[in-house]
Amino acid sequence: MRMKLKEICERLDGDLSGDGNIEITGVSGIKEALPNQITFVANPKYLAAIATTQAGAIIIGRGVNGNGKPTICVENPYWAFVKVLEMFAWDKNHRALPGVHETAILGKNVKLGERVAIQAFAYIADNVEIGDDTVIQPFVYIGEGTKIGADGLIYPHVSIREEVTIGNRVIIHCGAVIGSDGFGFAPVSNRHHKIPQIGTVVIEDDVEIGANTTIDRATLAETLIKRGTKLDNLVQIAHNVVIGEDCCLAAQVGIAGSTTLGDRVNIAGHGGAAGHLTLGEDSVVYAKSAVTKDMPAGSHLSGFPARPHKQELRIHAATRRLPELLPEFAKLQKRVAELEAKIQEPEDED
For residues 250-263, give the mean pLDDT. 98
Say which residues have a Cβ less than 8 Å from residue 148's Cβ, sequence separation at least 6: 128, 129, 130, 131, 134, 142, 154, 160, 166, 170
The verdict on 44 and 176 lying in the same domain is: no
| Residue 349 confidence class, pLDDT cut points 50, 70, 90 | low
Say which residues have a Cβ less than 8 Å from residue 134's Cβ, sequence separation at least 6: 113, 116, 117, 148, 149, 150, 151, 152, 153, 154
Pick the closest to residue 161 from 205, 112, 218, 115 (CA basis): 218
Helix, strand, or coil (residue 309):
helix
Say which residues have a Cβ less than 8 Å from residue 206's Cβ, sequence separation at least 6: 167, 168, 169, 170, 227, 228
> Is pLDDT of 162 > 90?
yes
Mean of all residue pLDDT scores within the chain: 93
Tell me, yes or no, whether 349 lies in a domain. Answer: no
Domain closes at, from 46, 77, 93: 93
Report the predicted TM-score, pTM, of the whole model to 2 decimal places. 0.83
Residue 286, judged by CB atoms within 10 A of its CB (0-12, 13-18, 19+), counts as: middle
Tell me, yes or no, whether 318 lies in a domain. Answer: no
The verdict on 183 and 287 lying in the same domain is: yes
> Is pLDDT of 96 > 70?
yes
Angle of CA points 294, 243, 166, to nearest 5°: 160
Report the pLDDT value the prediction gives residue 319, as an integer from 0 to 100.
82
The dihedral through the CA atoms of 284, 290, 296, 300 has a sign that is: negative
Q: What is the pLDDT of residues 32-65, one digit of tens each?
A: 999 999 999 988 888 889 999 999 999 999 989 8
Lowest mean pLDDT among 68-77, 308-317, 329-338: 308-317
Domain range holding 76?
Answer: 3-93
Task: Single out the catalytic residue among 94, 157, 239, 309.
Answer: 239
The DSSP secondary structure of 152-218, one letter per residue, reads -EE-TT-EE-TT-EE-TT-EE-TT-EEEEPP--EEEETTEEEEPP---EEEE-TT-EE-TT-EEEPP
Lowest mean pLDDT among 29-38, 121-130, 162-171: 29-38
Helix, strand, or coil (residue 347):
coil
The verdict on 201 and 250 lying in the same domain is: yes
Report the pLDDT value the prediction gives residue 258, as an integer from 0 to 100.
97
Pick the closest to residue 40 from 68, 23, 60, 54 (CA basis): 60
Domain closes at, from 74, 93, 112: 93
Cross-strand bridge partners of residue 27: 38
> Is pLDDT of 90 > 80?
no
Q: What is the pLDDT of residues 188-207, one digit of tens each?
A: 999 999 999 999 999 999 99
The verdict on 109 and 65 lying in the same domain is: no
Tell me, yes or no, whether 315 lies in a domain. Answer: no
**Between residues 301 and 329, which one has the greater pLDDT?**
301
In this structure, what is the dihedral angle of CA atoms 301, 306, 307, 310, given to the nearest 10 degrees?
Answer: -50
Which ranges in the chain belong to alpha helices (H)? 5-12, 77-93, 309-320, 322-344
Type of residue at 161: R
The verdict on 143 and 8 lying in the same domain is: no
The verdict on 262 and 303 lying in the same domain is: yes
Tell me, yes or no, whether 42 lies in a domain. Answer: yes
Tell me, yes or no, whether 176 lies in a domain. Answer: yes
Distances, alpha carbon 109 to alpha carbons 88, 126, 139, 222, 330, in Å: 37, 6, 20, 24, 79
> Is pLDDT of 76 > 80?
yes
Gap between the Cα atoms of 5 and 141, Å rounded:
42
The verdict on 82 and 154 lying in the same domain is: no
Helix, strand, or coil (residue 296):
coil
Tell me, yes or no, whether 106 lies in a domain. Answer: yes
Domain closes at, from 68, 93, 118: 93
Pick the closest to residue 155 from 110, 206, 93 (CA basis): 93
Tell me, yes or no, whether 249 lies in a domain. Answer: yes
Gap between the Cα atoms of 51 and 343, Å rounded:
77
The verdict on 192 and 117 lying in the same domain is: yes
The verdict on 107 and 84 lying in the same domain is: no
Tell me, yes or no, whether 341 lies in a domain. Answer: no
The answer to whether residues 297 and 281 touch, using CB atoms and an 8 Å cutoff, is yes
The answer to whether residues 173 and 155 touch, using CB atoms and an 8 Å cutoff, is yes
Q: Is 173 marked active-site? A: no
Say which residues have a Cβ less than 8 Å from residue 153's Cβ, sequence separation at least 6: 93, 94, 134, 135, 137, 170, 171, 172
The verdict on 64 and 212 lying in the same domain is: no
Give the CATH number for residue 85.
3.40.1390.10
Lowest mean pLDDT among 89-93, 240-244, 304-308: 89-93
The verdict on 83 and 115 lying in the same domain is: no
Say which residues have a Cβ less than 8 Å from residue 291's Cβ, sequence separation at least 6: 271, 272, 273, 274, 277, 279, 285, 301, 305, 306
Give the CATH number for residue 245.
2.160.10.10
Q: Count CB-CB contacts under 10 A for residue 200.
A: 20
The verdict on 165 and 263 lying in the same domain is: yes
> For the chain, how many structural domains are there in total?
2
